[in-house]
Amino acid sequence: MKTTAIKKLMTKNLVKLNISDELTKAESLFKKHNIRHLPVVNGDHIVGMLSYNDLLRISYADATDDVGDVIETTVYNMFTLEQVMSKQVAYVNANDPIELAADLFISEKFHALPVVDQDKLVGILTTTDMIRHYNSRCK
């Protein structure tokens, strides 16, 4: 059976954070783009991953005002991105087979993996991308 390279499924139009960004920017990006994972970079190199759940863990709740659209950011000012992000980042290469990513999703309970090519961040692969791929093959 022929395998598919990760680069065919990954999201290439990346939304990412720089290591110096504030957590309030992360919150804004999660909501604006309706995503759950953000790669953190220093230049072109991946240095961490931040999930929406990481933010929820430090804020205890997604606090908003009575109107429901202003985010309470006081708690975010108590932490740096580097303190909250996952620093032990597993990643895959753009030319790796999707089965490798599937194995990592299963064994490590990840939901997103940064994709690198020649040591530079070039994309992100999520479990949603994998499900979409397998679903399209079944039609």
- Predicted confidence pLDDT, tens digits, the chain (139 residues): 678 999 999 999 999 999 999 999 999 999 999 999 999 999 989 999 999 999 888 876 445 444 444 455 677 778 899 999 999 889 999 999 999 999 999 999 889 999 999 989 999 999 999 999 888 878 7
CA 44 centroid distance within chain: 15
Total structural domains within the chain: 1
Q: Which residue has the tokens 């990643």?
A: 91
3-state secondary structure of 47: strand
DSSP class of 122: E
Is residue 105 within 8 A of residue 90, CB to CB? The reply is: no
Residue 68 placed within a domain: yes
Tell me whether residue 33 is in a domain.
yes
Q: Is 1 within the bounds of a domain?
A: no
Structural domain contains residue 41: yes
pLDDT at residue number 69:
47
**Per-residue pLDDT, 75:** 75
The identity of residue 67, as a single letter, is V
pLDDT, residue 73, reads: 63
In a domain, 105, yes or no: yes
Buried b (16+ CB within 10 A) or exposed e, 15-30: ebbeeebebeebbebb
Is residue 15 domain-resident? yes
Cα gap 14→12, rounded to integer Å? 6
Assigned domain for 120 exists: yes
CATH number, domain at 108? 3.10.580.10
Domain presence at residue 66? yes
The alpha carbon of 103 is separated from its chain's Cα centroid by a whole number of angstroms, namely: 18
Domain range holding 54? 6-138
Amino acid at 20: S
Which pLDDT score, from 0 to 100, does residue 62 have? Answer: 47
